[in-house]
Amino acid sequence: MASHSAPLARPFTLSDFDFELPPALIAQHPAAERSGSRLLDGSSSTMVNRIFRELPELLNAGDLLVFNDTKVIKARIFGEKASGGKLELLIERVLPGHEVVAHMKVSKKPLVGGRMFMAGGSAQGGFDAVLLGRWPDANGQLFHLQLSDEPHALMEKHGHVPLPPYITHTDSEEDAQRYQTVFARAPGAVAAPTAALHFDEALLAQLETRGVQRASVTLHVGAGTFQPVKTENLADHTMHREWYEVPEATQNAIAECKARGGQVVAVGTTTVRTLESWVQSGQASGDTQIFITPGFEFKVVDRLVTNFHLPKSTLMMLVSAFAGYEHIMGLYRHAIANEYRFFSYGDAMLLSRVPRP
């Protein structure tokens, strides 16, 4: 457990989670080897620069690593309206009946009932999409569409890897391989659970040899994860909605870990949100809009492996709630001074949950 302690609670505003990041530190490509990324060990008050493959040395036999096994889908698809205007869909959720929920980037939205010709349209080997209306979401940015065939098959054939907005190159075969975890299982995410990108088969084998247990949850990461908070008063922010599941086997593994005195180590903020949503709601699956800010009482997670996050993001607020605001800001200053790589393809941190005062 970290030796740093939680400060007295104070009201936080959006400006508290801002910082200046040199653009050169935004990683545009992954490290040559997954486990070759850097790891800033911030699990105590003393910061230590490490390499990610050293992680097994920092965990104990009987600890439980919990991963998010969601699989990134090729959710970005280009097409045009009947009028010829270009458009882009980012499919956020697949529904029954070949229906989907998607973001739409277009100069002028088509009318309800309007047909869009994606990847050339069905007449050209692509597919058609019909606008059914807006989808009732918090920010009014989602649309309800019906596709002419099974959505997952269409995305796999015609879609592009939905790289984050701060990655400036078009998707490539490298991205198809590396913007995906080695244990991805359940298709549905439009963004990778990036802390898990650092794990390769050799590292997983080392963790198993050390006696560190493994379990999985699923949270289909949505595009909302990249949206900055825009309200200075955090209470005014409406969190995006994502679907999650905590399998019974994982619930049992957590109970057994706690019983033997081990620590539950979440890999990524999406895993934290999943586990804490489950305990808070009592529901093992469903939609979550959990918004974790300083003062939140964590019930499950003891340690966290996470990448470096965007300024003013909900994830900056989550890690500050977990490890202490001053400690997190100190880690970020250290990371910038030592030229760590930031965001999805960047480096990672190891954090411990700060003791509550």
> Would you call 183 helix, strand, or coil by DSSP?
coil
Whether 223 shows a pLDDT value over 90: the answer reads no
CA atoms in the 13 A half-sphere facing the CB of 95: 13
Q: What is the mean pLDDT of residues 265-288?
A: 98
Q: Do 208 and 65 fall within a single domain?
A: yes
Measured CA to CA, the distance from residue 5 to residue 67 in angstroms comes to 27
Tokens of 246: 């905590």
Q: Is residue 145 part of a domain?
A: yes
Q: Do 42 and 187 fall within a single domain?
A: yes
Q: Do 233 and 105 fall within a single domain?
A: no
Q: What is the mean pLDDT of residues 331-335?
A: 98
Domain boundary among 133, 158, 183: 158
Q: What is the mean pLDDT of residues 227-246?
A: 92
> Would you call 215 helix, strand, or coil by DSSP?
strand
Q: Is residue 138 part of a domain?
A: yes
**Count of residues in the chain:** 357
The residue range of the domain holding 235 is 14-72+175-352
User: Which residues are registered as beta bridge partners of 264?
Assistant: 64
Q: Is residue 330 part of a domain?
A: yes
Q: What pLDDT, on a 0 to 100 scale, did the predictor assign at position 226? A: 83
Whether 76 shows a pLDDT value over 60: the answer reads yes
Q: Do 262 and 322 fall within a single domain?
A: yes
Q: What pLDDT, on a 0 to 100 scale, did the predictor assign at position 138? A: 56
Summarised one tens digit per residue, pLDDT across range 237-257 is: 989 899 999 999 999 999 999
Q: Do 26 and 82 fall within a single domain?
A: no
Torsion 123-127-133-138 (CA) sign: negative
Whether 1 shows a pLDDT value over 90: the answer reads no
Q: Is residue 106 part of a domain?
A: yes
Whether 9 shows a pLDDT value over 60: the answer reads no
> Would you call 271 helix, strand, or coil by DSSP?
helix
First to last CA, the chain: 14
Please check whether residue 263 is in contact with residue 302, taking contact to mean a CB–CB distance below 8 angstroms.
yes
Q: What pLDDT, on a 0 to 100 scale, did the predictor assign at position 357? A: 57
- Mean of the per-residue pLDDT values for the chain? 94
CA atoms in the 13 A half-sphere facing the CB of 280: 17
Q: Is residue 191 part of a domain?
A: yes
Domain boundary among 158, 187, 222: 158
Q: Do 200 and 342 fall within a single domain?
A: yes
Global pTM value: 0.94
Q: What pLDDT, on a 0 to 100 scale, did the predictor assign at position 11? A: 87
Q: Is residue 6 part of a domain?
A: no
Q: Do 257 and 310 fall within a single domain?
A: yes
Q: Is residue 139 part of a domain?
A: yes
Tokens of 323: 């490890």
Summarised one tens digit per residue, pLDDT across range 18-73 is: 999 999 999 999 999 999 999 999 999 999 999 999 999 999 999 999 999 999 99
Q: Do 91 and 204 fall within a single domain?
A: no
Instruction: Check residue 344 and report its DSSP letter.
Output: T
Summarised one tens digit per residue, pLDDT across range 339-352 is: 999 999 999 999 99
Confidence of residue 141 (pLDDT cuts 50, 70, 90): confident
Please check whether residue 66 is in contact with residue 279, taking contact to mean a CB–CB distance below 8 angstroms.
no
Q: What percent of the chain has pLDDT over 70?
A: 96
Q: What pLDDT, on a 0 to 100 scale, did the predictor assign at position 2? A: 38
Whether 10 shows a pLDDT value over 80: the answer reads no
Domain boundary among 158, 191, 223: 158
* 106 class by beta-carbon count within 10 Å (0-12 exposed, 13-18 middle, 19+ buried): middle
CATH of residue 30's domain is: 3.40.1780.10
Q: Do 82 and 55 fall within a single domain?
A: no
Q: Do 265 and 285 fall within a single domain?
A: yes
Domain count, the chain: 2
Lowest mean pLDDT segment, chosen from 6-20, 85-99, 204-218, 309-323: 6-20
CATH of residue 145's domain is: 2.40.10
Whether 80 shows a pLDDT value over 60: the answer reads yes
Q: Do 179 and 295 fall within a single domain?
A: yes
Q: Is residue 165 part of a domain?
A: no
Q: Do 95 and 223 fall within a single domain?
A: no
